[in-house]
């Protein structure tokens, strides 16, 4: 357990540095020979060697530094590392380059070299427009206005009109982008907290929110970022509503946007990776086997590009999405046991990324691991992973919380733990009912499991057959699809009715669907 690891920001920053970044920092800081700078190099080395952040141990290693001095040294070191990284990364980032150009233009303006400043501004504006970086334009235009307003440098009348029109155009564009990005973020946030829409009331709320939030004439906008956030918003809108066909259409539009404007793949690499990930999920939900494999291959190719491999965020993002997709492929094919060796390999890789991982992704992966073991018939290990979700207190993904409890109940049923079934069944029902999260399928499952405790298999088989027929027709009900997306309850019931492993049932369906393609 590392309670301080995630709390000390300097420790986190140093541990995130790669060898080249550490080497660059040493060269950068040693250009000045002040005693303070030499002290922060020693502090840097001391923290770099720590496995966990331990302030007492740190003070022992730095005998000439007192506790009050340590705070100031840490703050100074933090700023110097960021300055070093800014210098190192500037050639790789359009945003940093544009900000640097603005800084240069501002310095030249302060020096009274107005024409030089204007030349840099013009060049920066061209670069910003070419890379769709409109967010920097208001700063550049404001500085240009200041120069033109205070110092007559050109034909003031024509320039004033042009600058005014340019400022209005950029302002309108940024307003649309801001509104659409806010909408996409709020919809994603809604999903992370609640999961899919549970009923007509949820759907009504989401539809109303979408209608009220969309900017006017949004489909007439052609800018890259306007289209990007519009497609993202509709992706989450469709996914929340469990309209998987619309979800597929907009994830495909999202990916196609980058295909049409390949320059933006480098500018917005994170959005591109996320687009492919969501397209993969859409193919998984619709069981588009061939397209799923084709899209996974694309993501694996993207993950091998220098742009992704040399960036911590992109590399980790791609790793998690590829790992999730490879597990999903085993769910599609029913090859649960073949997928088990991936679990320790993924966990080992995740342990090296623990500073960077968001909690939501860990929850999702733990559920995927649990379902792999459940499908393999290893119910005890499945329970271990489900417990990690059940015991989580971060209030994320109530849908995962619900299904972890439901699969947990099923695992104990499979293990024949009859004594636990009644209290567990009541607990699951109370948890899901309290959240108003029970679908018809889920309520029927809990009821069936509670009623079947202790019954002999001969007596149970007709009830299993009856239950299977009762829920099969619900597979096409949009508000029930969540039940089948998180847990293939139909295949589980068929495995009981036909006395076959669940993996064999799913494998047979997969082979039949391949034959039909």
* Residue-wise pLDDT tens digits, 87-142: 888 777 888 899 999 999 999 999 989 889 999 999 999 999 988 898 899 999 99
For the chain, percent of residues with pLDDT exceeding 90 = 38
Which residues, 6+ apart, have CB-to-CB distance to 67 below 8 Å?
55, 59
Is the pLDDT assigned to residue 359 strictly greater than 90? no
Is 401 in contact with 430 (CB distance < 8 Å)?
A: no
Q: Which residues of 476-512 are buried (b: 16+ CB within 10 A; e: fewer)?
A: eeebbbbbbbbbbbbbbbbbbbeeeebbebbbebbee
Q: What's the mean pLDDT in 162-191?
A: 88
Is the pLDDT assigned to residue 43 strictly greater than 50? yes
Q: Is residue 229 part of a domain?
A: no
- The residue among 136, 154, 172 that closes a domain is 154
- Band (269; pLDDT cuts 50, 70, 90): very high
Q: Is the domain of 411 the same as that of 482? A: yes
Both tokens of 293, joined, read 């494999």
Q: What's the mean pLDDT in 151-176?
A: 78
Q: Is the domain of 401 the same as that of 489? A: yes
Q: Is the domain of 15 the same as that of 150? A: no
Q: Is residue 123 part of a domain?
A: yes
- Band (34; pLDDT cuts 50, 70, 90): low
When divided into structural domains, the chain yields a total of 3
- The residue among 41, 59, 91 that closes a domain is 91
- The residue among 64, 91, 118 that closes a domain is 91
Q: Is residue 279 part of a domain?
A: no
- Band (384; pLDDT cuts 50, 70, 90): very high
Q: What is the number of H-type helices and E-type strands within the chain?
A: 28, 0
Both tokens of 18, joined, read 């790669």
Q: Is residue 215 part of a domain?
A: no
- Band (457; pLDDT cuts 50, 70, 90): low
Q: pLDDT at position 456, please?
A: 65
**Picking from 4-18, 79-93, 144-158, which range would have the lowest pLDDT averaged per residue?**
144-158
Q: pLDDT at position 4, please?
A: 39
Closest CA to 382 of 406, 351, 350, 353: 406
Q: Would the pTM of this model clear 0.85, i.e. be above it?
A: no
Q: pLDDT at position 271, please?
A: 95
Q: Is residue 274 part of a domain?
A: no
Q: What's the mean pLDDT in 374-399?
A: 87
Q: Is residue 335 part of a domain?
A: no
Q: Is the domain of 129 the same as that of 103? A: yes
Q: Is the domain of 469 the same as that of 390? A: yes
Q: Is the domain of 49 the same as that of 147? A: no
C-alpha 194: how far from its chain's center? Answer: 16
**Average pLDDT value over all residues in the chain:** 85
Q: pLDDT at position 3, please?
A: 36
- pLDDT, greater one: 262 or 150: 262
Is the pLDDT assigned to residue 432 strictly greater than 80? no
Q: Is residue 482 part of a domain?
A: yes
Q: pLDDT at position 453, please?
A: 66
* Residue-wise pLDDT tens digits, 318-345: 999 999 999 999 999 999 999 999 999 9
Burial of 515 (0-12, 13-18, 19+ CB in 10 A): exposed
Is the pLDDT assigned to residue 395 strictly greater than 70? no
Q: Is the domain of 77 the same as that of 115? A: no
Q: Is the domain of 16 the same as that of 146? A: no
C-alpha 19: how far from its chain's center? Answer: 27
Is the pLDDT assigned to residue 402 strictly greater than 90? no
Is the pLDDT assigned to residue 153 strictly greater than 70? no
Q: Is residue 196 part of a domain?
A: no
Q: What's the mean pLDDT in 259-273?
A: 93
Q: Is the domain of 113 the same as that of 44? A: no
C-alpha 108: how far from its chain's center? Answer: 41
* Residue-wise pLDDT tens digits, 271-295: 999 999 999 999 998 889 899 999 9
Q: Is the domain of 385 the same as that of 505? A: yes
Q: Is the domain of 448 the same as that of 496? A: yes
* Residue-wise pLDDT tens digits, 466-517: 878 877 766 666 555 555 667 788 888 888 888 899 999 999 988 887 766 5
Q: pLDDT at position 281, please?
A: 93
Q: pLDDT at position 280, please?
A: 96
Q: Is the domain of 76 the same as that of 29? A: yes
* Residue-wise pLDDT tens digits, 203-216: 888 889 898 888 88
Inter-CA distances, 10 with 13, 34, 62, 74, 78, Å:
5, 21, 16, 7, 6
Residue 455, domain extent:
378-517
Q: pLDDT at position 32, please?
A: 60
């Amino acid at each position: 357990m590392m309670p301080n690891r995630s709390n000390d920001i300097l420790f986190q920053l140093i541990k995130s540095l790669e060898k080249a970044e550490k080497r660059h920092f040493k060269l950068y800081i040693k250009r000045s020979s002040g005693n303070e700078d030499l002290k922060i190099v020693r502090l840097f080395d001391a923290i770099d060697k720590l496995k966990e952040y331990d302030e007492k141990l740190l003070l022992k290693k730095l005998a000439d530094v007192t506790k009050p001095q340590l705070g100031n040294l840490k703050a100074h070191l933090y700023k110097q590392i960021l300055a070093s990284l800014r210098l190192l990364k500037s050639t790789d980032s359009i945003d940093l380059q544009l900000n640097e150009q603005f800084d240069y233009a501002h310095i030249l303006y302060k020096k009274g070299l107005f024409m030089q400043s204007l030349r840099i501004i013009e060049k920066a504006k061209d670069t910003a427009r070419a890379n769709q970086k409109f967010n920097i334009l208001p700063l550049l235009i404001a500085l240009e206005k200041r120069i033109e307003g205070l110092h007559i440098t050109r034909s003031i009348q024509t320039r004033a009109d042009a600058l005014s029109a340019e400022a209005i155009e950029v302002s309108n564009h940024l307003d649309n982008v801001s509104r659409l990005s806010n909408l996409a973020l709020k919809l994603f946030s809604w999903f992370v907290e609640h999961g899919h829409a549970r009923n007509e009331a949820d759907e009504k709320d989401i539809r109303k929110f979408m209608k009220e939030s969309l900017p006017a004439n949004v489909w007439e906008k052609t800018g890259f970022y306007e289209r990007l956030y519009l497609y993202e918003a509709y992706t989450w809108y469709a996914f929340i509503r469990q309209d998987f066909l619309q979800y597929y259409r907009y994830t495909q539009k999202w990916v196609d946007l980058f295909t049409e404007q390949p320059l933006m793949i480098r500018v917005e690499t994170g959005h591109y990776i996320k687009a492919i990930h969501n397209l993969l999920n859409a193919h998984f939900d619709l069981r588009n086997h061939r397209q799923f494999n084709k899209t996974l291959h694309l993501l694996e190719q993207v993950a091998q590009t220098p742009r992704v491999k040399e960036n911590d965020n992109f590399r980790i993002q791609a790793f998690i999405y590829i790992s999730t997709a490879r597990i999903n492929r085993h769910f599609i094919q029913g090859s649960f046991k073949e997928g088990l060796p991936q679990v320790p390999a993924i966990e080992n890789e995740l342990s090296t990324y623990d500073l960077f991982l968001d909690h939501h992704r860990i929850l999702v992966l733990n559920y995927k691991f649990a379902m792999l073991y459940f499908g393999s018939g290893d119910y005890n290990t499945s329970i271990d992973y489900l417990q990690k979700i059940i015991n989580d207190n971060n209030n994320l993904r109530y849908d995962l919380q619900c299904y972890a409890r439901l699969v947990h109940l099923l695992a104990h049923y499979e293990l024949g733990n009859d004594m636990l079934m009644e209290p567990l069944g009541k607990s699951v029902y109370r948890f899901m009912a309290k959240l108003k999260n029970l679908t018809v399928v889920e309520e029927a499952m809990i009821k069936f499991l509670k009623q079947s405790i202790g019954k002999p298999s001969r007596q149970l088989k007709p009830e299993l057959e009856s239950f299977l027929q009762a829920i099969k027709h619900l597979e096409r009900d949009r508000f029930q699809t969540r039940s089948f997306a998180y847990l293939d309850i139909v295949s589980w019931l068929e495995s009981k009715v036909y006395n076959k492993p669940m993996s064999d049932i799913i494998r047979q369906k997969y082979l039949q669907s391949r034959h039909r393609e």
